[in-house]
Amino acid sequence: MRGPHNLLRLIRTGATFERTGAMGVALDALDASPLLRGALRAVAWPFRWLGYPGDPSMPPVTRAITALGPAYIKFGQILSTRPDVVGEDLALQLMVLQDKLPPFPMEAARAQFEAETGIPVDEAFSEFSAPVAAASIAQVHRARLRETGQEVAVKVLRPDIERAFRRDIDAFHFAAALIDRLSRTTRRLRPREVVAHFEGVVMGELDLRLEAASAAEFGMNTAGDEGFRVPRIQWDYSGRRVMTMDWVQGIGAADIAALDAAGHDRVALGERVLQLFLRHALRDGVFHGDMHHGNLKIDADGNLIAYDFGIMGRIDEYTRRVYAEILIGFIRRDYRRVAQVHFEAGYVPADRDVEEFARALRAVGEPIFGMDASRISMGRLLNYLFEVTERFGMETRTELILLQRTMVVVEGVARTFDPHINIWRASRPVVEDYIRDYFGPKAVLRDLSRTAGVLARFGPRLPELVQHSLARQAAEPLRVRAAPRPRPILWMLVGAGCALGGVLLGGLL
């Protein structure tokens, strides 16, 4: 219930932000109005003693969020994917938010597994360890299947986590409504929409069947990718509050000393992680949205292994083509084409000047091309690009922001493996392969074949649709039909003929 009782929760939240020094940092990042600043600080300052002290070794905002508990930690993680809301600096701070919390008792984990799967733990597993990792929503146990002897990871939601999150989300909604009323400048950040987005993400993560489905889909998409593995889901031992998957055995991506000791080729690893990410985003339209060091390991054969699929990015095919054209345009330094793509996609209002936009893009790209290879950053390019497009009236697109954020993270992982990696050179083959496969005659034929497939499904209804369309035209007043205009049925038949012709041509070729 989003009522005034939420004020008590918000007062403790404000007190914690005030006590840790995070209040000023957060308000600056949000570009809050003087009225909102004054109201929040007036409420929070007298209650500083109620605030949690947090860990003084952390930056102020991450210190406050970590002290406030699971829902706030998860909210901070999701805000790290929205630099358009909190700014680049704060997004980077939130990106490294430590998601480590005390584990809950073994008895509770075992009870939840049995209640969810209907199988006693000792019957399913010959071994079931103490928690090896505890996060804001769940904790992980290492186990061994009794039937096959295979090692698995068992992820179990925290007891009553749904109720705890709903209570805090209720307070977030109340705070968003309050901010919306008090500050016109902050209203442009759409606080209510941000909280609604957070609620949707968290409610999805609280159903581990959805994460298991994402892992299975990602595994199928990437099954043919050399040097990359996704752990297999054990569906018999998974459910809404429990997920079991193959155990990931390998060296953490951040442990450079161990990678060197094991003899892994870090230069190849750096190139591979970047190319794999681009391939997944462009080819499949589904990419790991949280591909940082902590979610990657390298096995004995040098394969990259990804896990933790709570945040997955999705891009529709049209947006992927636009993104690829933008990237290849920058790689080839064809700034006018990059500008045209933005206008064709409707990202920039049609009343703006294409040549002026191309000039602004050149000002973004040329300095980056003049840098030493070790300093070239695609993440920096995307950041500058969004700054320019904002000046030219481009509206925020959430899926591109997640892509940008993940690109920055993946680039950081690649540079950990190889500090001298040339981002452009590593990216070019993947982008050019995509351009070759999804543009030109082959792509046209494929699109026409899909169109024909859609029309074929409506084939039995075509006579009825034709008759209905003609009847409607006959019933229109003569004055309405005085000026000639395109007839829907004519365009339908022309489109069908073109599509079927394309299919036949594709078959002949």
Q: What is the mean pLDDT of residues 299-309?
A: 92
pLDDT digits (tens, 9 = 90+) for 154-171: 999 998 888 878 877 877
**CB 313 within 8 Å of CB 290:** no
Q: Which pLDDT score, from 0 to 100, does residue 237 have?
A: 96
The neighbouring-strand residues paired with 302 are none
Q: Which pLDDT score, from 0 to 100, does residue 501 have?
A: 42
Query: Hey, is 359 helix, strand or coil?
Result: helix
Banded pLDDT at 438 (limits 50, 70, 90): confident
Q: What's the longest Cα–Cα distance across the chain? A: 84
pLDDT digits (tens, 9 = 90+) for 354-391: 999 899 888 877 776 666 556 666 666 666 766 776 67
Check 290, 351, 372, 418 and give the catalytic one: 290
Residues contacting 30, CB < 8 A, separation 6+: 85, 86, 186, 189
Give the C-alpha separation, 271 to 173, whole Å: 43
Between residues 330 and 247, which one has the greater pLDDT? Answer: 247
Q: Give the DSSP letter of residue 358.
A: H
Residues contacting 428, CB < 8 A, separation 6+: 331
3-state secondary structure 310-342: CCEEECCHHHHHHHHHHHHHHHCCCHHHHHHHH
Between residues 345 and 261, which one has the greater pLDDT? Answer: 261
**CB 335 within 8 Å of CB 358:** yes
Q: What is the mean pLDDT of residues 91-107?
A: 74
**CB 164 within 8 Å of CB 6:** no
Give the C-alpha separation, 507 to 112, whole Å: 55
Q: Structure pTM?
A: 0.72
Q: Which pLDDT score, from 0 to 100, does residue 240 have?
A: 93
The neighbouring-strand residues paired with 127 are 144
Q: Which pLDDT score, from 0 to 100, does residue 492 have?
A: 43
Is residue 258's pLDDT more than 70? Answer: yes
Is residue 494's pLDDT more than 60? Answer: no
Any idea which residue has 């597993």 for tokens?
125
Q: Which pLDDT score, from 0 to 100, does residue 248 have?
A: 87
**CB 466 within 8 Å of CB 472:** no
Q: Please state whether beta strands 296-298 and 251-252 pair in parallel, antiparallel, or not at all (unpaired).
A: antiparallel
Mean pLDDT of the chain: 78
Among 117, 98, 193, which residue's Cα sits nearest to residue 155?
Answer: 117
Q: Which pLDDT score, from 0 to 100, does residue 28 have?
A: 73
What are the C-alpha distances in Å from 381 to residues 142, 330, 332, 367?
A: 41, 9, 14, 10
Q: Which pLDDT score, from 0 to 100, does residue 443 have?
A: 59
Domains of the chain (ranges plus CATH)?
6-100+162-199 (no CATH), 105-158+207-224+234-247 (3.30.200), 249-439 (no CATH), 441-508 (no CATH)
290 is catalytic: yes
Q: Using the Cα atoms of residue 104, residue 107, residue 110 and residue 115 in order, give the sign of their dihedral.
A: negative
Is residue 493's pLDDT more than 50? Answer: no
Residues of the chain above pLDDT 90, percent: 27
Banded pLDDT at 147 (limits 50, 70, 90): very high
